Amino acid sequence: ETERTLAMIKPDGLSGNYTEKIKVAILDYGFHIVKETEVQLDDERASLFYAEHSGRSFFGSLIKYITSGPVLAMVLERPDAIAQWRALIGPTDARKAKTSHPNSIRAMCGLDSEKNCVHGSDSPESAAREISFFFGD
Ligand code: CMP
């Protein structure tokens, strides 16, 4: 059954000119890119997007990273989109991705557990919230 998820190319992905390569990987994997928007998040919007991580030690660093340049948010659609996008991007830690998931997007353009190039919603609830965060209802 068709499903939608929120994908985001982070500032390191955009500044490293990985957008086109990532889009090719997305389309090759059978996704349809339904909507996209490039935006510069400020501290307040970034903190809202990542509110669930606000108690973590890396939160300040995460907000600095995600506001360091524009991000590209996309709504992706295909059957089982949430799980399939997370499979395509690979593990959070891009160093792990490079060894255990060499064909993943994070292996291609990520650096470590913070600068991991892309984001994907982790549940239907997150997908709904994150899609309306960027695109409204
Ligand atoms: P993302 O999938 O967007 O979800 C939360 C983000 O926090 C994650 O990708 C990373 O960018 C960042 N993150 C997660 N774990 C760590 C960590 N241990 N240290 C620094 N940043 C992290």
Largest CA distance in the chain: 39
- Distance (angstroms) between ligand 1 centre and the Cα of 115 equals 8
Whether ligand 1 lies within 6 angstroms of the CB of 93 is answered as: no
So what's the pLDDT on residue 1? 87
Q: pTM for the full model?
A: 0.97
Query: In which band, very low, low, confident or very high, does the pLDDT at 137 lie, cut at 50, 70 and 90?
Result: confident
Rg (C-alpha) for the chain, rounded Å, is 14
Whether ligand 1 lies within 6 angstroms of the CB of 113 is answered as: yes
92 φ/ψ sector (left φ>0, alpha ψ -120 to 50, else beta): alpha
When pLDDT is averaged across residues 42-62 and rounded to a whole number, the result is 98
Q: Minimal CA–CA distance to 13: which of 60, 71, 74, 62? A: 71
- SS3 category, 36: strand
37 Cβ contact partners less than 8 Å away, ≥ 6 residues apart: 72, 73, 134, 135
Q: Which residue, judged by its Cα, is nearest atom 2 of ligand 1?
A: 119
Which is the closest atom of ligand 1 to the Cα of 116?
11
Whether ligand 1 lies within 6 angstroms of the CB of 116 is answered as: yes
